[in-house]
Structure 1
Amino acid sequence: MMKVVVIGATQIGVEIARMLSNENHEVTVLDESDDRLQNVRDQLEVFTHQGYGTSVSDLRIAGVNRADYVIAVTEDEQNNIIACMLTKRMNEQVRTIACLFSAEMFEQAPFAEWDIDYVVHPEESTANQILRLMRRAGATDITPFVDGQVMLIGLRLTSKELINQTVRQMVMSNAHATFRLVVIQRNTQTLIPQADTILKRNDHLFFLAKSEDVPAVIKLTGNTEQQVQDIMILGNSDVSRNVARVLNNLYVGGGRDRRKHIKMIEPDRNRAEKISNELEHVLIIHAPLYNIDMLTSEGLDSVDVLVAVTDDAELNLMTSLLAAHYGVKKTIAGVSQSSYIPLTNAVELDSMVNANYATSRDIMNFIRSQGQNSIAAVPDVDAEILELVAGERASITKGPLRSLILPRGMVIGYVQNGDKAEVATANTQIHEGDQVVLFVLPHLVEEARYYFEGIR
């Protein structure tokens, strides 16, 4: 069990605290506002302390001197930096994580000298998630595990051949690829699939697969690995600028694919001129974002990907729906509130990204990379991703997975031994010491621990 202090009861802070506390790690949330802390207490079973991350006495009361991780995610990046620096002087062994909001600070600051082990930048995290989605244009969601060896990929079921088949039939008819169906989102219901689960049209399926098997998984669901040539980005945010910058350098400026055409619509003239001078391979168009006629005249109906990540979530959603109506292959909408995310299933939107979720994912991926048991989440499904280690007498080691009887609502995703990870199949045998990632419904988290550690 880890001891973690989260400084800042922000949306990111609450999400991180939830992920960690669900696996019974000892979590303390430190914030200057008792109202925000009360919101935390209403949702989570964690410790709280009202105080300041820049106060040595408050940090000591919160327990940073005995913490494994201190995660500073207040809305003030300078306070986050100071909190991490003070923490290291109180506990040399602790790992510190700071959330920054200034792109210049994120790119240039000497974090090692400041005793900060890892930094996150919400706009950068969101831009990276968008780029992963663009690389797999048929996917609705992509999350890498184990340095990209294994991918969690979300896809909508459109294949007529699979509709009304069971999961067992799908696996048997696609034996050429190794994959694991781990979650089904059906309208607003989250299912952990069993062998006899019947697949339905427009199910939102989440698979684990090795990177080389991802194209086969995309194909079997009736989707395609679409070639992305023409991209339109709606500006007016730091995220849109970051996406345009990376595309400029990676796809065109770096010479990897000069056939791609990238347009960015920017409503602010000064900002448009500045970005145009910075990004020579991106066409910057100064125009209002709310003018649908202008968007169509600029080729909205002919682009392969629309990235709508303005500061207006409603505009992003409506423009994405319009683009889908015009037949755009891939739409990615940025939303500021996580409550919008279930709309991806309700109205069949393609992909949504949320800065808080993207940042939380990056933080959890860092913690996972340090060899600690951790927990993550998929933003639009009500299921947990647990990483557990098989104990000496754990029930999960008694035979291959096909011979074990696990509760409905729990499925093994992949098994990691050292630096090597393998997607789980019916023949997988879990051994003592293996790190295992599994997907469970929230009420089965404790049950999952029992199967791996023999502890209720």
Structure 2
Amino acid sequence: NRCEFLSEQLEQTVVLNCDGLEPQDLLDEGIDQADLVISVTNSDTTNILSSLLAKHHGAKKCITHINSPGFIPMLGKLGIDVPLSPRQVAANMILRFVRGGGKIVNVATLMGSNAEVIEIKVPKQEHFIDLPLKLLDFPQGSIVGAIIRHNQVIIPSGNTKLQPGDNLVVFFTQQALSDLESLFDA
């Protein structure tokens, strides 16, 4: 079964095959010392409650499998570190494909809003290179949240200049999408 396979593959990992809702079972398995707990049953309720129990008893981080995206906005407020929705992952992959192929590195929707975040390669066109961000005509409803340069994250100011190989992380509303695509010819 899956638990046996995972247990064999993940040598420094404790794999539990239980409902995860009995606090003493979790404590007996050392949940209070866990660096990471991943709850992946077929039940959103069980995954959420077992993650909350794990956090309550001292687990450092929790990844929680969620089938119903409606739960996701409240989970951060409850202390769940990473709600993981396979549907959302698939939707983001489709968005990446639809949004523009080569220049688009990653796309994600921000649950419960009409906003998205996109990671886009800076074109090697001369008018982008060594140009401060404040001189680029970013559309209203968009903001550059970060620049990824040589695997380092830079929180930019308006004076930050773009370099070849940079990736921009841009937050934007749906209303800004077409102007943002035009700016980068995505």
In structure 2, give the amino acid aligned to 1:385. V
Relative distance call for 1:293 and 1:448 in structure 2 (3 A) is: same
Please give the alpha-carbon distance, in whole angstroms, between the structure 1 residues aligned to 2:53 and 2:46.
10
Aligned mates of 1:408, 1:241 — CA distance in 2: 52
Cα distance in 1 for residues equivalent to 2:4 and 2:111:
26
Q: Secondary structure of 2:64's partner?
A: strand
Residue in 2 that maps onto 1:44: none
Q: Tell me the equivalent position of 2:160.
A: 427
- For the 8 Å contact 1:333–1:353, the answer to whether it is kept is yes
How do 1:303-314 and structure 2 match up within 5 A? 303-314=34-45
Q: Are the aligned partners of 1:409 and 1:440 in contact in 2 as well (CA < 8 Å)?
A: yes
Q: CA distance change for structure 1 residues 415 and 340 in 2, over 3 Å: closer, same or farther?
A: same
SS in 1 for 2:102: coil
Q: 1:400 aligns with which of 132, 137, 141?
A: 132
Give 1:33's aligned residue: none
Matched residues in 2 for 1:300 and 1:399: separation? 50
The Cα shift of 1:363 comes to 5.9
Q: Which moved more, 1:300-309 or 1:322-331?
A: 300-309
Query: Percent identity of the aligned residues?
Result: 22
Asked if the contact 1:384/1:441 (under 8 Å) is kept, the reply is yes
Across the aligned residues of Structure 1 and Structure 2, the Cα RMSD in angstroms comes to 4.1
Q: Return closer, same or farther for 1:340/1:441 CA change in 2, 3 Å cut-off.
A: same
Counterparts of 1:444 and 1:373 in 2: how far apart (Å)?
16
- Check the 8 A contact 2:44/2:66 in 1, yes or no: yes
**Which of 72, 90, 95 pairs up with 1:341?**
72
Q: Secondary structure at the match of 1:306?
A: strand
Residues of 1 paired with 2:33 and 2:162: CA distance?
Answer: 49
Structure 2: which amino acid aligns with 1:331? C
Show the counterpart of 1:300. 31
Contact 1:332 1:353 in 2 (8 A): yes
Q: Can you list the C-alpha shifts for 1:389-419, whole angstroms capped at 9, x where unaligned? A: 659697x669322444645642334478xxx
Separation in 1, partners of 2:148, 2:117: 13
Cα displacement (A) at 1:335: 0.8
Work out whether residues 400 and 430 of structure 1, in 8 Å CA contact, stay in contact via their aligned partners in 2. Answer: no
- 2:16 is aligned with what amino acid? I
Describe the SS at the equivalent of 1:371: helix
Aligned to 1:444: 176
Look up the equivalent residue of 1:303 and give its one-letter code. Answer: A
Partner deviation per Cα, 1:220-278 (whole Å, 9 max, x = no partner): xxxxxxxxxxxxxxxx9x6x677x25xx43x53xxxxxxx3x322224xxxxxxxxxxx
Q: How many residues align?
A: 178
Change (3 A) 1:408 1:322: farther
Name 2:55's counterpart in structure 1. 324
Counterpart AA for 2:173: L
Which of the numbers 16, 27, 52 marks the counterpart of 1:265?
16
Q: CA separation of 1:354/1:371 partners in 2, compared to 1, >3 Å: closer, same or farther?
A: same
CA distance, structure 1, for counterparts of residue 61 and residue 173 of structure 2:
30
| 1:376 aligned partner | 107
Unaligned runs of 5+ in 1: 1-235, 253-259, 268-287
CA deviations on 1:135-178 (whole Å, 9 max, x unpaired) are: xxxxxxxxxxxxxxxxxxxxxxxxxxxxxxxxxxxxxxxxxxxx
* Matched AA of 1:429: L
Report the alpha carbon displacement of residue 356 of structure 1 after superposing the two structures with TM: 1.7
* Cα separation, partners in 2 of 1:308 and 1:364, compared to 1, 3 Å: same
Q: Name the TM-score, length of structure 2 as normaliser.
A: 0.68
Partner-residue secondary structure (3-state), 1:265: coil
Structure 1 residues 399 and 321, CA gap change in structure 2 (3 angstroms): same
- Counterpart contact for 1:414–1:421, Cα < 8 Å: no
Q: CA shift at 1:314, angstroms?
A: 0.5
Q: Equivalent residue of 1:266, what SS?
A: coil
Secondary structure of the residue that 1:295 maps to in structure 2? Answer: helix
Matching residue's letter, 1:353? L
Gapped runs of 5+ residues in structure 2? none
Query: Kindly tell me: are residues 344 and 304 of structure 1, through their superposed partners in 2, closer, same or farther at Cα, counting changes over 3 Å?
Result: same
What is the alpha-carbon distance in structure 1 between the residues aligned to residue 92 and residue 42 of structure 2?
A: 21
Amino acid at match of 2:79: E
Shift of 1:317: 0.6
- Give a deviation string over 1:38-92, Cα, whole Å, max 9, x none: xxxxxxxxxxxxxxxxxxxxxxxxxxxxxxxxxxxxxxxxxxxxxxxxxxxxxxx
Counterpart-to-counterpart distance in 2, 1:373 and 1:360: 15
Question: RCO greater where, 1 or 2, for CA within 8 Å and sep 6 or more?
Answer: 2
In structure 2, do the counterparts of structure 1 residues 372 and 452 end up closer, same or farther at CA, with 3 Å as the change threshold?
closer
**TM-aligned CA distance change 1:351 to 1:423, over 3 Å:** closer
Matches within 5 A, 1:203-242: none
TM-aligned CA distance change 1:348 to 1:421, over 3 Å: closer
Q: Which structure 2 residues correspond to residues 403-422 of structure 1 after superposition, within 5 A?
A: 403-404=135-136, 406-407=138-139, 409-412=141-144, 413-414=146-147
